Amino acid sequence: MAKPDATDKRVAIAQCKAERGKTKATHQAFKAKYHSFSRCIRQNAAEEHAEQRAARQNAAKQCKAERSDPDFASTHDGKTFEEFYGTNKNGRNAYGKCVSGNARELKAAEDAQDAQEVQAFKNAAKECAAERSDENFAAGHDGKTFEQFYGTNKNKRNAFGKCVSSKSQESYTDPMDP
């Protein structure tokens, strides 16, 4: 598998900056999730590269199916595949134009999904910060403190990260899931 290129890393940096946010709560949640900015970049760059690769492969499959579809003209204003996608005089670049256009659309959908995940993460961090500073937290959670309720390790220091993780998973539902 190929390594992420400079574009993937540039997009990953922007995504990590957005995910880190500007508030103390989002910074803490970011640190709990990734431990460092460089780890976030590595992880998101690899994910970005995989998304691009998948978008290209899926776009190619879609275009092959469209090209071999006998009813293509009836669903595209009577134009053939070459006439619909081709831009040069003989329409020879139709397949390439189809693949690049479909890949761009698929990648845009993935990027929108990533933005929703980042927003869910930031909202969860803010909710957890509010819960942690709430003086009446124990009253609503069986008498347990924030650390006792969310913490899972021996000293319960992972409570904030566990809270953010659980709340971001609750608030974000994948639109690709049925």
Tell if the pTM clears 0.85, that is, is over it.
no
> Tokens 């690769």 label which residue?
53
Confirm if 59 and 99 have CB atoms less than 8 A apart: yes
Provide block-wise average pLDDT over 10 residues at a time, the chain (178 residues).
Answer: 87 94 92 94 94 93 93 90 86 90 94 91 92 91 91 89 88 56
Confidence at residue 172, expressed as pLDDT on a 0 to 100 scale: 60
Domain boundaries, the chain: 6-171
Give Cβ neighbours of residue 146 (< 8 Å, ≥ 6 apart). Answer: 131, 132, 134, 137, 159, 163
Q: What is the pLDDT of residues 22-66, one digit of tens each?
A: 999 999 999 999 999 999 999 999 999 999 999 999 999 999 999
